[in-house]
Amino acid sequence: MEKQLTRNVKKIADLLEKSSYPVVLTGAGVSTESGVPDFRSPGSGLWTVLDPDLFTIQGFKANPEALYKAGAPFFRQLEQAEPNQTHTVLAELEKRGLIKAVITQNVDGLHQKGGSRRVLEIHGTLSRAICMHCDRQVPIEDVVADVEEGLLPPRCAECGEPLKPEVIFFGEALSPDYQEALEEARKADLIMVIGSSMQVSPANQIPALCDNLVIINRTQTFYDRSARVVINDSTARVMSLLLEELNQRK
């Protein structure tokens, strides 16, 4: 198994070095290694403890207080989460020009904390909230502080309307980053899918735009059969090995 892993890591390094426009697509499996729960895992996913109906745009507009009561502990957990080796290695690869962009399904902001500069957040971000009336943006830590002081729902200091986490709720149009992500995927001659089972639409359509795929995920994905390299292992471990391999080639 270790020999096969080493061979596959070398293959990924080869593909990265030969590619002119590599792009990365990440999912929840990247952030679970930072202690951030995913949404759908049985027994541990967020939908086992939070009602998905709270994250519909209709539900939020009808009762924003309910979302903040239920979600504030998760928002605080995200605020305190730290990047892991996958995040920091991707930032280093970007510095070296070995990847052009990170497209992420995640809303935790850990790619930016880890040093990545070109990040397309197709599901929005929980790093801030926005006023749906006047578009004022507020850091999520300020919003959580208001909630913990009993201000439910937290309101815009300018117009008094409820603040909404700047994630894409069910029933909302996707982030403008999604269209940019599609453009990046069309330009890409290599897409690395990291930490995503590719079960969520329309993000799972992005890899279909490139013929050259690498999959790094703990479980199998729909795209495994068409990928050049597939590794089912910890993303942080694989990315650390990849950086070691690239460093040896300097």
Q: Which long-range contacts (CB under 8 A, 24 or more apart) does 167-171 make?
A: 167/55, 167/107, 167/123, 167/124, 167/125, 167/126, 168/122, 168/123, 168/124, 169/55, 169/56, 169/57, 169/60, 170/52, 170/55, 170/56, 170/57, 171/56, 171/57, 171/58
Nearest-angstrom CA–CA distance, 190 and 87: 19
Nearest-angstrom CA–CA distance, 239 and 90: 8
111 classed as catalytic: no
- Give the helix/strand (H/E) hosting 164: strand 163-167
Q: Is 134 exposed, middle or buried (0-12, 13-18, 19+ CB in 10 A)?
A: exposed
Tokens of 41: 């895992």
The structure tokens 């809303």 sit at 107
Cα 194 from chain centroid (whole Å): 10
Residues serving a catalytic function are 123
